[in-house]
Amino acid sequence: MPEKYTPGYSSNATNFMANRSVDTHAAFFTPYLRPGMKLLDCGCGPGAIALGLARVIAPGTLIGIDREISQIRIAAESAFKQGVNNTNFLEGNIYALPFPDDSFDAIFSHALFEHLQEPVQALRELCRVLKPGGIVGLRSPDWDGCLIAPFPPELDRAITYYKWLHEENSGNPYVGRELRALLRETGFINIKASASYQCYEPVSAIAEYLALRIEDSAKEDQAVEKGWTDEISLTAMSNGLREWSQHPDGFFAQAWCEVVGEKG
């Protein structure tokens, strides 16, 4: 089954990803960076984190790759508007990177490995383009670690359905807990693992993102046509998310897992 990026590239998904930053989503990795490095960001999306990383390593160079050209254009435009001149954004595939061996001092990848069918193959390619002694930093969610309150049945069904979409698209919504093992299997050394929570405030941010993605699954995934669900259920799940987001005690904390490893 071919891979599919579950969030998609709608304005809903792109705006959701664009709210991330190096401080909120890459703080685990910045202590390993220094000015002058050559850094690769795999799955850079609209470039929100990448631009922050570029500032950390300046006057070094950051290259961001993404398989979706629309994201590359947004990232390049953001770099121009913000005056971040040490970046280059390219269309590329993590399984076949367009770089020679031993090209980078460090490699970063955020919220990508949960969408990969062959994570070890991807890591071998990262290892190939990383210099000996270079570092890799990965961060992915583990959807089994979410803390949600209140948690009515409609919301439970919506979250379960979103995770199921991940799996149907050849991804792994629980890959966060496996990142350390994946690095070790690929031959990385001095591996350090950690975890953290992202608390969405307001909760309507995550609720609306999920609601729109669930609604879009009728078209994007042919979910109704394939018999996965029906229009009534999709509407009930998306409405349930929006109603929950208005609850005065609403709380959503997403678990993220991080690893840093060294190429021996």
pLDDT digit string, tens, across residues 62-86: 999 999 999 999 999 999 999 999 9
Alpha helices in the chain (DSSP H): 11-18, 22-25, 48-57, 69-82, 119-129, 153-168, 179-186, 204-220, 231-245
pTM of the model: 0.95
- 167-190 exposure pattern, b = at least 16 Cβ within 10 A, e = fewer: ebbebbbbbbbbbbebbeebebee
The one-letter code for the residue type at 227 is G
Residue 1: per-residue pLDDT: 58
Give Cα 81 to chain centroid, integer Å: 24
- In the chain, domain spans: 11-263
The tens digit of pLDDT for each residue in 199-250 reads: 999 999 999 999 999 999 999 899 899 898 999 999 999 999 999 999 999 9
Q: What is the CATH number of domain 11-263?
A: 3.40.50.150
Q: Is the pLDDT of residue 135 over 70?
A: yes
